[in-house]
Structures are given as C-alpha cells and as structure tokens.
Amino acid sequence: MPQGQPSAVPDDGMTTRQRRTLPVLAVHTGPGKGKSTAAFGLALRAWNQGWPIGVFQFVKSAKWRVGEERALRVLGASGEGGPVAWHKMGEGWSWVQRDPGSSEEAAREGWAQVRRDLAAQTYRLYVLDEFTYPLHWGWIDTEEVVRVLHGRPGSQHVVVTGRHAPQALLDAADLVTEMAKVRHPMDAGRKGQPGIEW
Amino acid sequence: MPQGQPSAVPDDGMTTRQRRTLPVLAVHTGPGKGKSTAAFGLALRAWNQGWPIGVFQFVKSAKWRVGEERALRVLGASGEGGPVAWHKMGEGWSWVQRDPGSSEEAAREGWAQVRRDLAAQTYRLYVLDEFTYPLHWGWIDTEEVVRVLHGRPGSQHVVVTGRHAPQALLDAADLVTEMAKVRHPMDAGRKGQPGIEW
C-alpha cells in the first residue's frame, strides 16, 4: 500500500526536495522470478515522467524479453512519454561494428558504452538487464562498476538485474530487492509459456 | 538467464503443448518492492501476445500506479498488441453507479466483477493489484476466491499482488514469488521519488 513515509529523517543537511531527486541505484537479485519484469515495470514509471530510458540487455539470446522490448519501443515512439533506446548484446551492440569474438568481450563492450552514456548523462534511467552475470563471472570488474556508478553525475537512476549480485554491488545500492522462489510451475514439470515467460 | 527446462516431467497424460497453455495463477507477495511492478511487467508480455488485459486496482488512492496506468493505456490503444481495460477502486469502479459506502463494500464489488469477467472469459490476463489486502482483512472470503479461481474456464492467467497473501491462496497458486526487502532508500530517510515510486 502506498505509504511513502520514511522510517527516519536523516541529519544530512539536505532538504526533502533534494532527497527526492537523489539518483537511485537499485539491484533486483535472488533466484525468484520478477527481477527483470520489475525493472521494466519501473521503466513504465520513468517513461511516464518523460525520462530518456536506456536498456542494456547483457544476454546472449536476442529473442529474450521480446514482449518488454516491443512494448517499450512502442511507448518510446508514442511521443507521450520519454524516449527509449534498447541495446541488445544478443544481436551485437549497435555501436560495435566488428564481431566481439566472445561473450566476455561483448559484455565488456556493453559496460564501456554504459560508462560513456553515464558520463554524457544520455539517459535518466538505465536498465542493466542480467548485468550481474558478467560481474559474477569476473568478466567485468565489480570494483570499477561500483566506482563508476558511485561517481555518476546528475540524477541518473540505474537498475541492475540478475542472480548472484556481487556483495560490493549490493553494498553500493540504495535499493536491494531479493526475489525468492516460493513455487514455480516448472517445478511441476510445466514448460515456459508465451505471455508468461516471454 | 533463459533456461526454460522443467526440473521434472510430470506423468499427467498431457502433451507439452497442453501444458504450455495451462492457465497460471501467480501471486507476488512479501514485504519488498516489485510485487506490482513485476505484475505490470508481465502485462507487457501479455500485451505483446495480443491478449486482452484487465487490471483491477484494489486500492483507495486513484493516483496510485499513474505511470503504469498511462503506459498500459497507451499500449492498449496502440492497436499493436492486446487491448487493456483499467479498473480503479479508488475513483469508483466504472460499473458501479451508486457510492459503495465503504472500502470493504467497494472491494467486494471489485471481486464480483472479476468473477463475472472470469465466467465470461473477458480477459486473458487479470492483474488483481493489492488484492491480498481485502482477503487478509476478511472483507472477501479467501475460500470463495480460491474456488472461483480454481474453476475458471479456458486459459485465463491471473496475477495477484500484495503483502500478507493468505496461505490458502498461496497453496492454490502455480507461481509464488516473495519479494524480500533487503534495503530500501526510505530506511535511510529518503522520500518516495517520481519515476521510481510512482
């Protein structure tokens, strides 16, 4: 239920208005469903605010998130809310001309672009979908990511999704939600369904 | 990551195709964020499938979920995916002419309409947002809800969101995700922000 009451008022010298525009780093992690889905739900709010949104999908499959992608693209093109840029590692990042050679290299190129966009304040909301995996696997240096995110200019919000979020990323986050799997149809032998799983 | 492999193959005499179109009852519960957000993210997938979507907001405030509502309405009207009907208790259900008198009565009238729509197979996805509260408070009989959901015809998917989901509802669900709060900006005295909280 909408309450919106902080549990404490900080002694940080900031006004409520200043605190209201603080940039948020959110991490959705855990083994349950809804990590990415909730991030794209958050993108609906950002879109409604007229914010430019950048989605970076750090997954191999270009077919993943087709529903969310189409919806956000239609919304971004509607002219009613913010614009949406959708970047997919799975079909080759648009700014990379040559073949990246490996998923590890491709993931690094994705992060390099996120860095550039953060420095240029290209977007107001960044959805770094499944970004925890290249961190977890050591393909991208978590300390560097935390340092860059910590120092990002302006009021840029970042949502990172995926299992196995490194502790240093969790420590740096303002908002951490863990999605726990209580019950899943696949446990009962069901397969993924269109409209539900993708 | 997209795996889609069930952990067991059931001996239920059904084909994979039959299992793929089984109606899903999902419950997003727990004290963390993302319960409703993930439900609206799911609605993006349903929209992409061309499914009619019915959203029922069981909350008093008509201003709640303004971002999601506007996005889903724009998508529904785009003609590219499925149509979207958005029903709000907070501004009086559109099918109720007189003043419901109390939130309890209003919640019951919402559920009565969901029953009728399920019987008529009006939608393919139902988002019953914050519906756990009238169940938790005893305003609506959980046993009846479970019975109606269990007996719903066709392939109608239902997502229920909110804290304090009654055990009988969890037992009846195919998919239960509990959103745990690990860290929240309001703990640090921050207030809700546009684009993040709504």
Q: Is B75 within 8 Å of A72 when comparing Cβ atoms?
A: no
Q: In the prediction, which pLDDT does A189 show? A: 61
State pLDDT tens for residues A73-124: 999 999 999 999 999 998 889 898 887 788 999 999 999 999 999 999 999 9
State pLDDT tens for residues B94-107: 898 887 788 999 99
Closest approach of B99 to chain A, Cα-based (Å): 22
A-chain residues near B74 (CB < 8 A): 74-75, 78, 80-81
H runs (alpha helix) in chain B:
16-20, 35-48, 66-77, 103-120, 132-136, 142-150, 167-172
Q: Which of B127, B136, B167, B190 to mutate to test the interface with A (most CBs of A within 10 A)?
A: B190
Q: Exposure of A136 by Cβ count < 10 A (0-12 exposed, 13-18 middle, 19+ buried)?
A: middle
Q: Is B176 within 8 Å of A185 when comparing Cβ atoms?
A: no
Q: Which of B175, B176, B184, B186 to mutate to test the interface with A (most CBs of A within 10 A)?
A: B175
Contact B155, B23 (CB under 8 A): yes
Closest approach of B191 to chain A, Cα-based (Å): 6
Confidence of residue B149 (pLDDT cuts 50, 70, 90): very high
**CA–CA gap between residue A39 and residue A68 (Å, rounded):** 10
Contacts of A62 (CB under 8 A, 6+ apart): A88, A90, A91
Among A32, A40, A193, beta carbon nearest to B178? A32
What residue in B sits closest to A35 (Cα-Cα)? B38
A-chain residues near B75 (CB < 8 A): 71, 74-75
Candidate ranges B16-20, B73-77, B183-187, B188-192; pick with highest mean pLDDT: B73-77
**CA–CA gap between residue A191 and residue A56 (Å, rounded):** 27
What residue in B sits closest to A163 (Cα-Cα)? B1
Length of chain A as a residue count: 198
- ipTM for the assembly: 0.73
Q: In the prediction, which pLDDT does B2 show? A: 43
Q: Is A6 within 8 Å of B46 when comparing Cβ atoms?
A: no
Task: Please give the order of strands across the beta sheet that includes A125-129.
Answer: A84-88, A53-57, A125-129, A157-161, A25-29, A175-183, B175-183, B25-29, B157-161, B125-129, B53-57, B84-88
- Higher pLDDT among residues B135 and B63, named by residue: B135
Q: Is A37 within 8 Å of B32 when comparing Cβ atoms?
A: no
Q: Is B182 within 8 Å of A176 when comparing Cβ atoms?
A: yes
pLDDT tops 90 at residue A13: no
Q: In the prediction, which pLDDT does B198 show? A: 66
Q: In the prediction, which pLDDT does A39 show? A: 93
Confidence of residue A31 (pLDDT cuts 50, 70, 90): confident
- Higher pLDDT among residues B63 and A152, named by residue: A152
Length of chain B as a residue count: 198
What residue in B sits closest to A164 (Cα-Cα)? B1
pLDDT tops 90 at residue A163: yes
Confidence of residue B37 (pLDDT cuts 50, 70, 90): confident
Q: Is B75 within 8 Å of A80 when comparing Cβ atoms?
A: no
What's the average model confidence in pLDDT over A32-46? 89
Among B6, B45, B193, beta carbon nearest to A195? B45
* CA atoms within a 13 Å half-sphere pointing along the CA-CB vector of B97: 0
Q: Which of A196, A197, A198 to mutate to test the interface with B (most CBs of B within 10 A)?
A: A196
What residue in B sits closest to A61 (Cα-Cα)? B2
What residue in A sits closest to B32 (Cα-Cα)? A177
Contact B107, B139 (CB under 8 A): yes
pLDDT tops 70 at residue B126: yes
pLDDT tops 60 at residue A3: no
User: Structural domains in chain A?
Assistant: 21-180 (3.40.50.300)
Q: Is A183 within 8 Å of B196 when comparing Cβ atoms?
A: no
Q: How far is CA A130 from the centre of its chain?
A: 8
Confidence of residue B3 (pLDDT cuts 50, 70, 90): very low
**Token reading at B35:** 């319960």
**CA–CA gap between residue A59 and residue A53 (Å, rounded):** 18
**CA–CA gap between residue A46 and residue A4 (Å, rounded):** 18
pLDDT tops 80 at residue A7: no
Q: In the prediction, which pLDDT does B194 show? A: 74
B-chain residues near A22 (CB < 8 A): 185, 190, 193
Q: In the prediction, which pLDDT does B98 show? A: 80
Q: What is the mean pLDDT of chain B?
A: 87
Closest approach of A134 to chain B, Cα-based (Å): 12
